[in-house]
Structure 1
C-alpha cells in the first residue's frame, strides 16, 4: 500500500500550497468584486457596470479573437511539424527526428516578455526585417506592413504562435514515439500512403493531447499580460491590460471593477472550453484509429 501512495504523499505539500494560493486568490477576488456597494453588503454593482460597458466588450472580443487565432494557428502548425517529424523518424533517422524536436523547443527557453521584445524588433515598421528588405530593394522605405501595435493584433498572434507552437509539439511528439514502424509497413502493404496513414491511424491518437494543449494555450493567452501590453494598442485593450490599468489607476472604486473583469473572464473561459470540449468530443467519436469508419484497420 505504501509504495502506491508514497508519490502522492511526497507531492502533497506542494499540491496543497498551489491549491490554497490558487483557490484563495480566486475566492478573495470574488469577495472583493462583490464589495463595490455599501460596506458589509454584497453588491453586484461591479458586474453590472462591466456588462454594460462598451469598453469591456470591445476588449473581450479583441482578446477572444487573438487568443482563438493563436490557438488555431499554433495547433495547425504544430500538427504539420509533427507530421514532418513523423516522416523523418519513419523514413530517415529517428535520432535526427529527436534532435529536430529538441531544436524546436528553443523558443520555450525565452520568457514571454523576451519573446514580445524579439517580435517587436523584428517586425516593427523600422525593425530588422524591414531594414533587411529595404537593403535588398524588396520593399520601400515605408511600405512594410504594420504587424506590431496593429488594430487586428497580428503582432500578438505571431508572438504567441512563436511561444506556444513548441509547447504543442512537445505534447504531441511522445505519441508518435509509441508508433512502431511495423504499422507503417503494414499500411504500405495495404496501399496506404504515409500521409493517409498519418491521417487515419496517427491523427486520432493525437486528438486527446492536442485538446489538452490547446486548452492550456487558450486559457493562458486569454489572460496573459506581457505580450498584449507590449505589442497591443491603446484601444481596444486586452482583457488583462484593461483590468491591470483599472486596478492601478489610483481610484479604489475601480478595483472591484478590475477584479470583476478577471472573475468574469475566468467564467467565460470555462464556458467556452466546455463548449469546445463537447463539440470536439462528438467529432472525435467519428475518428477512431483502426476503425472501419476511416477505411483503415490496424494489422
Structure 2
C-alpha cells in the first residue's frame, strides 16, 4: 500500500514539516531538526537538496548561506571539502557545531516509516535517482518538481518508480503531468495566490482528487510577497485562530499540509479527531 494512503487511514490529513523543526540551537535542514519534527508528530519531512561541484548531495536550501553559514558564496559552487568545513549559525546567529548534512546520512537515519519529500532536487535527477536506488526507500520518498519536460522525461525513464508530485500553478500543467504513463503520479501541490485562483475552487480540487490523487497545500508563510494559498497560512492560524488558516485548507480537501508549526497543527488535528 502507498505509505501516504496508509497514513491517511489514521489521520484526516498529513503534516509535512518545512525543513524540519528548528528553534534555539537546532538548525533547519539538519538531522536534529528532523528528529524534532518527528517528535512533533510529523508524518513527512520536507528537505532541500543541493549537489556539490564534485557530485556529493547535501541538505541545504541555497540562498540562505549568509543567514545560516555566515558567508556569501552560493553553496552549489563549492566542492564537498569546502562544504564539510562550514559550520552552521544557530537562531541567534552564533556559530554551532552542526555541519551541513549529507543526504546519505539523513536517509540512513530516517529509513523506516517517515515520509521524506525531496525538494529542489529536480535539476539533479539524472544522477540523484540512481543514487537514491541504493537506499531501497521507494515507499518513503516523494519527489516533486515544476512541470517541465526535461525533468519529467528523466523521471519517466527511470526504472524505480518513486512517488511524484508536480507543483501546479497553471491548469494546463495538470494534463502535462498526467501525460507521462511511466511516472508514479500520486499527488499534486497546488498554488493559489488568491481566492479567485482556479486552484482555490472546489471544482478544480475535486477534479484532481477524483483521479485518485492527493492534494498538497502549503500553510507556510515565506514572506510578505510569496502567497502559497490565498493567505490561509500558519501566521493566520496562530495569530487569529485555526479557522482563519488551517481549517480552510482542510475544508478545501488538503490531504497533506506543509507547515512550520507541526506541534500546533497536530494539536488542532487531534481536536478534530475528538469531535468526530
- TM-score category of the 2 structures, normalised to the smaller one: under 0.3
More helix by share: 1
> Structure 2-normalised TM-score?
0.26
More strand by share: 2
> Structure 1-normalised TM-score?
0.24
Q: Which has the larger radius of gyration?
A: 1
